[in-house]
Amino acid sequence: MTRRSAYLNARLLDPASGLDVRGGLLAVDGKIADFGPRVFADGVPGGVDVVVDCEGLCLAPGLVDMRVQIGEPGAEEKETIPTASRAAAAGGITSLVCLPGTEPPIDDVSTLEFIARRAREAKLVKIFVAPAVTRGLEGRQLTEMGLLAEEGAVAFTDGHQAVADAAVMARALNYAKVFDKPIMQHPEEPSLSAGGQMNAGERATRLGLKGINRLAEVMMIERDLRLVELTGGRYHAAHLSTGAAVEAIRAAKRRGLPVTCDTAPPYFALTEVDVGDYRTFAKLSPPLRGEMDRRAIVEGLADGTIDAVASDHRPHDQDSKRVPFDQAAAGGVGLETLLPLVLELHHKGTLTLLDALALVTHRPAAILGMEAGRMRVGAPADLVLFDPDVPWKIEERALRSKSKNTPFDKRPTQGRAVRTVVDGRTVFLHGH
């Protein structure tokens, strides 16, 4: 039975095409059938099942989050697929990419299929998988990339661990190239970062914490770029946090290497000052850096060196965070705060609204070869309706994630999702 949904009085935004007009959108059986300034200009025709008056708010492609850690399987006390899906929907995210750091790791077809089945059962957002580069995330033996690619893997990564062995990384880049999949690296030289608790410098010294040198990031990236030159494989550097790393990627792109990168909101919105007096919610990996690095990340976003922004969602239960800083787990939740923090780049004049949205829609989707993040006829009706200006404060206790470890607790923000639509179905409605 045909199902039609009409969205009226919207500010239609599509970063991929540069569209920014007042108009309407028609979805038929979960696909975009028509949109533009003339759609419903003469009123809604008969046969429409659902009519949504957008009241001038922004209607855009649903967000694509390319780096999300979910606890299931093995650490369901931190996050499950249903709780992560609800949090993502509340943040305007319609597609997310699950990292392999589960127990057991996502390093074979059966575990990948388990994630896919659980996502179908949740019936909320679309969950894709970036399975492990190496078996058991041990950094030695490659996974069966060919089989995993056939089952829908969008990239390969060892998650929050670097592929430290250069020979293993070279083989991975060569192998993944056959399937046109990127290797997504956590760029941190392990011997330089081992045992580190926060960014190395005066503040770490004052707090009596072992520091992680900024060089650990760029050294790994520069090594990997040599391997990209050697192999021609696609390489993606995750969550850049330093100016030196941005410059290395910028230079690689000038040389025409097949290289992309992302960052996460903490690295353009916070600094090591936010660690305060041992605030464990601000213990992240990579660690929060200094103000000059934060500015360099913003500059990299402004000039297009940084291709995407991911939430880097990494949930931890209270037992993992409410302990002394040097014992606390690294990472923060971010699904529900991704949109407002990316909108900060617009509100502060760093990026246009379309350019800010591009970082979390078609650009990450293009890196991973996903059919998402674009508003076009025939595409899935995966949409977010959001108010770009509404003020609100991030509150740890109000988050839908099972874990509440946000480094942005009590931060005032502007902009939030009002309605999230996946394949034409409303999966989130603010206030309901």
Determine the residue type at 242: T
- Look at residue 24 and tell me whether its pLDDT is greater than 80: yes
Judge whether 312 counts as a catalytic residue. Answer: yes
**Mean pLDDT, all residues of the chain:** 97
Give the per-residue pLDDT at 1: 77
pLDDT tens column, 154-197: 999 999 999 999 999 999 999 999 999 999 999 999 999 999 99
Q: Of the listed 224, 312, 382, 409, which one is catalytic?
A: 312
**pTM: predicted TM-score of the whole model, two decimal places:** 0.97
The backbone region for 136, taken as left when phi is positive above 0, alpha when psi lies in -120 to 50, beta otherwise, is left
The fold of the 61-368 domain, in CATH, is TIM Barrel (3.20.20)
Distance CA 242, CA 411 (A): 23
CB environment 303-329: b (16+ within 10 A), e (fewer): eebbbbbbbbbbbbbeebbeeebbebb
Say if residue 205's pLDDT is above 80.
yes
Q: Is 404 a residue whose pLDDT tops 90?
A: yes
Q: Which residue has the tokens 């990996």?
A: 285
pLDDT of residue 183: 98
Per the rule left: phi > 0, alpha: psi between -120 and 50, beta: everything else, 384 is beta
Task: Give the integer Cα–Cα distance in Å for 355 and 342.
Answer: 10
Residue 432 pLDDT: 86
Q: Which residue carries 């290289």 as its tokens?
A: 259
pLDDT confidence tier of residue 46, bands split at 50, 70 and 90: confident
Write the pLDDT tens digit of every residue in 325-382.
Answer: 999 999 999 999 999 999 999 999 999 999 999 999 999 999 999 999 999 999 999 9
* pLDDT tens figures, 259-279: 999 999 999 999 999 999 999
The confidence score (pLDDT) of residue 210 equals 97
Dump pLDDT digits (tens) for 62-90: 999 999 999 999 999 999 999 999 999 99
Residue 194 CB partners (closer than 8 Å, separation 6+): none
Tens digit of pLDDT for each residue in 206-238?
Answer: 999 999 999 999 999 999 999 999 999 999 999
Tens of pLDDT, residues 289-335: 999 999 999 999 999 999 999 999 999 999 999 999 999 999 999 99
